Structure 1
Amino acid sequence: MAHDSTAHQHESSTKRIWQVFGILSVVTIVEVILGIFRPPFLTETSIVGMHLLNWIFIILTLYKAYYIAWAFMHMEHETKGLRRAVVWSGVFLAIYLIFILLTEGDYIYEVYKNGYIAWDF
C-alpha cells in the first residue's frame, strides 16, 4: 500500500515539475520574442517615464521570480502569513528599486540634457 502512494506522489511531482517548466518556458519565450522584435507600439508608448515594453519586461520578470519562489521554494505549502511576509517583502523591495532607478535616472538625464555636464563619454 505504501508503495502505491509513493509511486502516485512521484508521478504527481514529475507532472508538477513539467508544469512549472512549461509555464516558465512560455514566459521566457514571450520575453525573448518581445526583446527581438520590439513592437513599435510598445516602444513608442510611455507610462510613468518608461516605455511600455520595459514595464512588460519588469512585470514578466517579477512573475517568474514569484512563480519560482512559489513552486521551487515550496511556498504553496506554507501558511498564509509566511507566504505574505515573503512575497510582499519582495514586491515592496522591487517597487522601491524601480522608484529609485526612475528617480535617479531622470535626475541624471536632466543634468546631461540641461548642459551641466557634456555627453562626451
Structure 2
Amino acid sequence: MLRDDIIEYSLDAHHSEEEGIKLRKKIWFVFWILLVVTVVEVSLGLMFSRVPAMQTFLFITFITLTVVKAYYIVMSYMHLGDEAKAFRLTVLGPFIFFILYLIFIALVEATYLFRIDKMFPF
C-alpha cells in the first residue's frame, strides 16, 4: 500500500555526485589529520614519557594537540563549521567558559592543598 502522507525528505537534499565526492574528500581529510595528530601524541608519549626534563614540554604539547583534535571533531563531525559564526560562538562560548572555570578552580584548589599545613601547624 502506497502512503501519500509520508514526507519524502530525500527529495529536498539536492545532493549530486559532485557534492558527495567533495563531502567524502572532506571527511577523509579530517580523518587523516586526526590520525596524524593521534600518532604524534602516542609517539611523543612513548618516546619522552620517562624523561623528566621533557614533562612540561609533553604537557603543553598534549594540551595543544588535544585542542586541535577537538576543533576538527567539533567543526567537521558535529557540523559546526557550516554554521553561522554567531551560532558557533553561542554553542562554544559556554564550553570555553566552563573549561576556563575548571582550570581556575583546579589551580586555586591545588594552591590551597599545598598550603594547608602552614595554616594549621598543630
TM, length-normalised to structure 2: 0.70
Decide whether aligned partners of structure 1 residues 27 and 74 sit closer, same or farther in structure 2, where only a CA change above 3 A counts.
Answer: same
* Kept after mapping to 2: 8 A contact 1:31/1:60: yes
Residue of structure 2 in register with 1:88 after alignment = 93
AA partner of residue 26 (structure 1):
V
List gaps (5 residues or longer) in structure 1. 44-50, 117-121
List gaps (5 residues or longer) in structure 2. 1-14
Residue of structure 2 in register with 1:108 after alignment = 113
Question: How many residues are paired up?
Answer: 105
Query: Are residues 1:98 and 2:103 paired?
Result: yes
Structure with larger Rg: 2
Residue of structure 2 in register with 1:42 after alignment = 54
Q: State the structure with bigger RCO (CA 8 A, min sep 6), 1 or 2.
A: 2
RMSD (CA atoms)? 2.5
**Identical aligned pairs, as a percentage?**
40
Bigger CA drift: 103-112 or 58-67?
103-112
Residue of structure 2 in register with 1:31 after alignment = 41
**Correspondence list, 1:7-18, <5 A:** 7-18=17-28
**CA shift for structure 1 position 41:** 4.3
**CA shift for structure 1 position 26:** 1.2
**Runs of at least 4 residues off by over 4 Å:** none
